[in-house]
Amino acid sequence: MGFFGKVSGLSNSTCTARCPKGHYCTPDTLSPVKCPAGRYGASTGLQNAECTGECSPGYYCPESSVSATQVSCPAGRYGAVKGLKTDECSADCDGGEGFCEPTVCEEGFYCPLNSIAPTQLECGGEGVYCPEGSGATTAVSSGYYTIGNVSKMGHYSSIYDENRRFDQIECEAGTYCDGGKRLPCAPGRYASVTGSTSDQCEGACDPGYVCPTESTSSRQIRCGGPGVFCPGGTHEPTPVAAGYYSHSGGVDTRSLEAICPTGSYCVGGVARLCPAGRFGSVTGLADDGCEGLCKKGFYCPEGSTSETQVACPVGRYSGAGAKNEKCDGICAKGYYCPLASFVATQFQCGGEMNYCPEGSAIPHNVTIGYYSVGGNSTTRSWQVQCNVVDTIMPGKEFVMKNDGAELNGCPSTTRVTGDDVQSYPQHINVDYHIDPENEYKYDHEWSADINNDVGLEGAAGLDGVKADAETVDQSFPTGEGTHGHVGSHGW
């Protein structure tokens, strides 16, 4: 056995020849018979269909194969058993030489040549993927991420299947992909398109808006009310600091804050003017009290920046906190009120030669032939004419004749002409000189201490006399050129 004889008349036991490799020869074989598929004949002289043996796993053996590793199972397939016959590398066949169900490498794995298992090799890291039947790994495309049994589409990567990815998906809006890994756009950034590859995504969130993680629009969420602001690239609103206000944008899309300006206060991110009667000379005020009340003698319209914003007009006065030009009211009769007066009785009118009706800005000089009435000798409020028809001077009084029959005495305080000044020095014939503007300046700009309301310090000619600006209720000496305050500045 192990030989064949293909001609007649053979004369020895070797017959025609020894059976070649890949074949077998039975005793009556005329010609060598091929080793069947799935088996191989590695030597000569094989005597039956068993040949040398079955093909090794990972390989298949067609007829007349001479090696256990005759042909490698193709990439993407595997041969798990011996004796495989075809490139399907499968033992799942319908019998004989019929159809065999091909073996296929599992997804998430790859099977190179000669593989013996469906999970021959894990696919690798997140940067590659292996669909079912892969013979090698496939690099992930730019802007895509890999998925597996745990790391599913629309989810972020898991470590539990990072080496067994079997497909790739384009990165969705709001995310970017790097090395096959799906990552969220960082807070303050966004991606409105798919397939982003940069950690900067598409760009920064617009000023006035908030972009949380995985935002898909540069205006994902409006910042909020005026109490917060959102610069560009913001992921959450920033509260406006006390004494600041938000600006640049709509009421709910503010992007900046700024310190509250003078004359204003800021609450809840909104700047408001200081109320009338109050002032704000500094920035950053945070309540409606601002810095305080307007100084007495002045009024503060809405939005004032100084405690002495506007002086109360002549003839009027105010305490602290006046709101408009009316101040607190008009000057009392018998008194006069220059600019910035703070009581209704700011200055007594003066001697008998002056009178001050209600609301006087300066004393009025008594007209020649008139005398002052009302109040006392320093607070006269009106004048009355003395109709003199004949003049005699008993007891320093004028005499007025009425109807040519009755004599009526005129007061000695009646103002006379200049000819009589020497006889009656208390009667002045020089008009009282006053400059309201200079009175105000002297009081409020030239004074030694304005802010503390220190009384008016006299100029040359006051002989050291001080008058408290708040309490000028005093009698002034009479006489030529005198009116309580005398000096080179109109007092």
pLDDT per residue of the chain (491 residues) written in tens, 0 to 9: 555 556 555 455 556 678 899 999 887 777 899 999 999 999 988 889 999 999 999 999 999 999 999 999 999 999 999 999 999 998 887 765 567 888 999 999 999 999 999 999 999 999 999 999 999 999 999 999 999 999 999 999 999 999 999 999 999 999 999 999 999 999 999 999 999 999 999 999 999 999 999 999 999 999 999 999 999 999 999 999 999 999 999 999 999 999 999 999 999 999 999 999 999 999 999 999 999 999 999 999 999 999 999 999 999 999 999 999 999 999 999 999 999 999 999 999 988 889 999 999 999 999 888 889 999 999 999 999 876 554 444 334 444 444 443 334 567 788 776 544 444 444 443 444 444 444 444 444 433 333 333 333 332 222 322 233 333 333 323 333 333 332 222 22
Report the pLDDT value the prediction gives residue 214, as an integer from 0 to 100: 96
Report the pLDDT value the prediction gives residue 95, as an integer from 0 to 100: 61
Kindly give, in sequence order, each residue whose CB lies less than 8 Å from that of residue 34, ignoring residues fewer than 6 positions away.
Answer: 22, 23, 63, 64
Report the pLDDT value the prediction gives residue 30, as an integer from 0 to 100: 77
**Domain spans in the chain, listed from the N-terminal domain onward:** 1-103, 109-170, 260-330, 331-491
Report the pLDDT value the prediction gives residue 437, as an integer from 0 to 100: 47
Report the pLDDT value the prediction gives residue 458, as an integer from 0 to 100: 30
What global pTM score does this model have? 0.66
Report the pLDDT value the prediction gives residue 167, as an integer from 0 to 100: 97
Report the pLDDT value the prediction gives residue 1, as an integer from 0 to 100: 57
Report the pLDDT value the prediction gives residue 98, as an integer from 0 to 100: 64
